[in-house]
Homo-oligomer: A and B are copies of this chain.
Amino acid sequence: MEFIRLEGLSLKKQILNNIKKEVTENKYDIKLVTIQVGDNPASSIYIKNKISSCIYAGVKTLSLKFEEDTKESVIISKIQDLNNDKSVNGIMVQLPLPAHLNRNNIINAISESKDVDGITDTNLGKLVQGGNGFIPCTPKGIIRLLQHHNINFKPQSKVVIVGTSIIVGLPLSIMFKNMQLTVTTCNIFTTDIEKHIKTADLLVSAIGKRDVIKTEWLTKKQYVIDIGINRYNNKVVGDINFELAKKVVKGLTPTPGGAGPVTVACLVENTYLAFIRQNKLD
Chain A positions near chain B (C-beta within 8 angstroms): 104, 120-131, 133, 154-156, 158, 164, 166, 170-171, 173-174, 177, 180, 182-187, 189-192, 195-196, 199
Shortest Cβ gap from A213 to chain B (Å)? 15
Other A-B pairs, 10, CB within 8 Å; known A120-B125, A173-B177, A182-B196: A121-B121, A123-B125, A125-B127, A128-B170, A128-B174, A155-B189, A156-B190, A158-B192, A174-B174, A184-B184
Residues from chain B with Cβ under 8 Å of A195 in the complex:
199
Residues from chain B with Cβ under 8 Å of A199 in the complex:
192, 195
B187 & A180 in contact (Cβ 8 Å cutoff): yes
B182 & A183 in contact (Cβ 8 Å cutoff): no
B187 & A184 in contact (Cβ 8 Å cutoff): no
User: Bound complex: CA of A130 vs CA of B127, how far in Å?
Assistant: 15
A177 in complex: contacting residue of B127, B131, B185, CB < 8 Å:
B185
The 25 listed contacts between A and B (C-beta, < 8 Å) are A104-B131, A121-B121, A121-B125, A121-B131, A122-B122, A122-B125, A123-B125, A124-B124, A124-B125, A124-B128, A128-B174, A129-B166, A155-B189, A156-B189, A156-B190, A158-B190, A164-B177, A170-B177, A173-B173, A174-B174, A180-B187, A182-B186, A182-B187, A183-B185, A184-B185
Residues from chain B with Cβ under 8 Å of A184 in the complex:
182-185
A182 in complex: contacting residue of B130, B158, B190, CB < 8 Å:
B190
User: Bound complex: CA of A125 vs CA of B126, how far in Å?
Assistant: 8
Residues from chain B with Cβ under 8 Å of A182 in the complex:
184-187, 189-190, 196
Count copies of this chain in the complex. 2
User: Bound complex: CA of A124 vs CA of B104, how far in Å?
Assistant: 14
User: Bound complex: CA of A128 vs CA of B190, how far in Å?
Assistant: 20
A133 & B121 in contact (Cβ 8 Å cutoff): yes
B189 & A180 in contact (Cβ 8 Å cutoff): yes
User: Bound complex: CA of A192 vs CA of B164, how far in Å?
Assistant: 24
A122 in complex: contacting residue of B121, B158, B189, CB < 8 Å:
B121
Residues from chain B with Cβ under 8 Å of A174 in the complex:
128, 170, 174
B177 & A128 in contact (Cβ 8 Å cutoff): no
Shortest Cβ gap from A183 to chain B (Å)? 5
Residues from chain B with Cβ under 8 Å of A123 in the complex:
121, 125
User: Bound complex: CA of A124 vs CA of B109, how far in Å?
Assistant: 17
User: Bound complex: CA of A166 vs CA of B177, how far in Å?
Assistant: 11
User: Bound complex: CA of A183 vs CA of B189, how far in Å?
Assistant: 12
Q: Which residue of B lies closest to A154 (CB)?
A: B189
A171 & B121 in contact (Cβ 8 Å cutoff): no
Residues from chain B with Cβ under 8 Å of A185 in the complex:
177, 182-184
Residues from chain B with Cβ under 8 Å of A170 in the complex:
128, 174, 177
Shortest Cβ gap from A15 to chain B (Å)? 26
